[in-house]
Each structure stands twice: as C-alpha cells, then as structure tokens.
Chain A
C-alpha cells in the first residue's frame, strides 16, 4: 500500500516518467543512433548505457547546481561544454580500463555528445529544477535508456551469434541470424520494440499522419 502511494509523490512521478511514461527511447524517440549502433552485443550495450547514465548524472549535477548563475543566453553552449567534458572523461576511462569495449564502440563514445537525451534533459529539467530532483530525473532517464539497450542487445546477440556476453547459450545446431547483427536487423527489431512498448504504454500516435 505504501509503495503504491509512493508513485504519487513528486519524486515518484519523476521516476516513473523517466523509466516508463516518458521513456527517452520509445516515447520521446531520442538517442536512436546509439540505440541501434551499439546493441549488437550485450557488452557494448552495457558500457553505452552506463556511459550515458554517468554523463546524464554529472551534467544534471553541474547544470542544476549552477542554474542560478548560468546566463540564459549562452545556456546551450554551456550544456555543450559540460557534456563534452564528461564524454571525454568516459572515453578516456574506457580506453584506460576497458580497451576492448572502447575499441568496439569506436566513434560512438564521442557521439554521446550529440545524443539528444543529454541536451534534452538539461534543457527540459535540470536548468529549472533543484539538485535532488534533477539527479533523480537524470538517473531514471538513464535507467530507461539503459534497459531498452539491454533488451535489444540481448535479443540481437542471441539471434545473431547464439551467445550472451560471449557465452554460448544456444544449442550447437543453432544457425546464426547474421542479419540481426547488421543495421537492417536492428532497424526492424527496433520497429517491433517500439510497436510493442507504445501499445503497452498506451501512447497516442503522433498527429499529422505518419
């Protein structure tokens, strides 16, 4: 009963919105590039999810605590500076401690800078809300993004290579669906995922045709 009530508090609402109702991927359709490009292996998806969540948290922390000093006219460039700084951190960290993952992700780590989720959350939330709520919002959006990546990558890796995290899970007779590791498979799988999730979340379709 108490947990049920929790979702009616402000914090609860922010959390539910980030993870489910306003999920960055299937509701706001943000950050699709990385969603497709890195989900051919679970390992890459985990690293990407963690990386984006970290940058989200760090940016929200900084932007939200500085929100009273940031001049309104140059707030965009401020977001960009802050985001790029933290992305470079993530890039360096991966290079130093997880060289293999860093190599597989290649330029996509740097491309976190242009991941619209980051700019979106900074502008829509962190710039006008207090620190605690901003951090919660960043965390729940990061979580919402990461679990989508995880679901897609698990499906793709099983079908394309017969493995999860490099461990074999399918029987020896399994024929790899190579197409699932390729962009074409990713596109179609994401379409199916969007279809299912949008139906589950009972989202109204966009207005103005297709």
Chain B
C-alpha cells in the first residue's frame, strides 16, 4: 500500500513539474512564434510581388511599398504600381495549402505565386512549394480559368504544366487557385 501511494505521489509530482515547465516555455515563446508567422506572410507577399528586400528589413520594406486593404474579412495587398496580392487557403490532397497569389495591374495576368504552408507528400505533391514549379505560373492568364495540364503539354496562355505523379495535388491546387481568383473578382465587382 505504501508503495502505491509513493508511485501515485511520484507521478503526480513529475506530471505537475513537466506541465508547469511547459506552460512556462509556452508563455516565453508564444509571442515570437506568432511574430514569425506574420513575418512569413509578409515575406511571401514580397516574394510574390517580386519586391527585393534585405532579410533584416522585411517589415520596413513591406510597410513602405505595400498598402493593406481589408474588406469584409478578405485582405488585399496593393502596391503603388497597382499590382495586387491576395492570400489563398484551402484543402490540398492531405492537408491545408495556403499561399499568396500576385496579379499584375490588369488583374488577369499572374505576377507570382508563393506557398506559405502545405502538408503534401515530400517528393510528390510537396513539390508544389518548389521554385521551379511556381515559376511556371508567371505571366499566365487567369481568364477564363487557370488550367493545369499534363507536364509538357501547356500551350495556351492559361495553361500550366502540372506535376507528374502528383495529379491529385495538382487538381486540388488548380481548384483552389481558381476559387480564390473568382472570389477576388466578386469582391472587385461589388465595389
């Protein structure tokens, strides 16, 4: 009996020490982690709009060049040259894909795409975050609809080469991009 009490006491002590220690760590790092996430979105927006920045001055460059417009919960980033960037987020094959889509001043041609987070399979769908894939979208038209076609078959200006072996991810990504562009257009029309 005495041994049992000792065990329960020990587990209780250890558990509370661990728990207390972790809440301390949590409180200490929370702010920094939130700031990192914000910084990440800003970096992605700058990259998508092809604005150069020194790594330590992201905030400064961002606030100097980009105007943030909030409208009914949607955020639009606009530059002085009237290029815009929108955030997109939605399901991929495995998990959520989120990123930034930048359009040229005509609001039809893609200026750049950046991925902020994705959970796709490394080596297959995970390649959507690679630079070489995202570069395929540059200068493509989003009207009437962006299409991902089998690798090497892209001819028209609204067609983009998909990733071989990652059909499901490519399809989900296509769906996601078109949906966010359509939402964005709707927002423009209303104004």
Contact = CB atoms under 8 A, between A and B. Distances in A.
Contacts of B105: none
A210 interface: no
Contacts of A88: 22, 25
A182 B15 CA distance: 40
A181 interface: yes
A162 to B, nearest CB: 14
B18 A73 contact: no
Interface residues of A, number: 23
Contact of A81 (B15, B29, B33, B40): B15
A81 B14 contact: yes
B143 interface: no
Interface in B13-55: 14-15, 18, 21-22, 25-26, 29, 32-33, 36, 40
Interface residues of B, number: 19
A163 to B, nearest CB: 14
B29 A96 contact: yes
Interface centre among A69, A84, A96 (most CB of B within 10 A): A96
Contact of A71 (B3, B32, B33, B117): B3
Contacts of A85: 18, 21-22
Contacts of A73: 7
Contacts of A181: 123
Contacts of B81: none
B7 A96 contact: no
Interface string B143-184: 000000000000000000000000000000000000000000
B105 to A, nearest CB: 32
Contact of A70 (B10, B15, B117): B10
Given A71-B6, A182-B123, A92 B26 contact: yes
Interface string A60-86: 000000000111011001100110110
Interface of B: 3, 6-7, 10-11, 14-15, 18, 21-22, 25-26, 29, 32-33, 36, 40, 117, 123
28 contacts: A69-B10, A70-B10, A71-B3, A71-B7, A73-B7, A74-B7, A74-B10, A74-B11, A78-B10, A78-B14, A81-B14, A81-B18, A82-B18, A85-B18, A85-B22, A88-B22, A88-B25, A89-B25, A92-B25, A92-B33, A93-B29, A95-B29, A95-B33, A96-B29, A96-B32, A97-B32, A99-B33, A181-B123
Closest 7 CB pairs of A and B: A96-B32, A96-B29, A99-B36, A85-B18, A92-B29, A71-B7, A182-B123
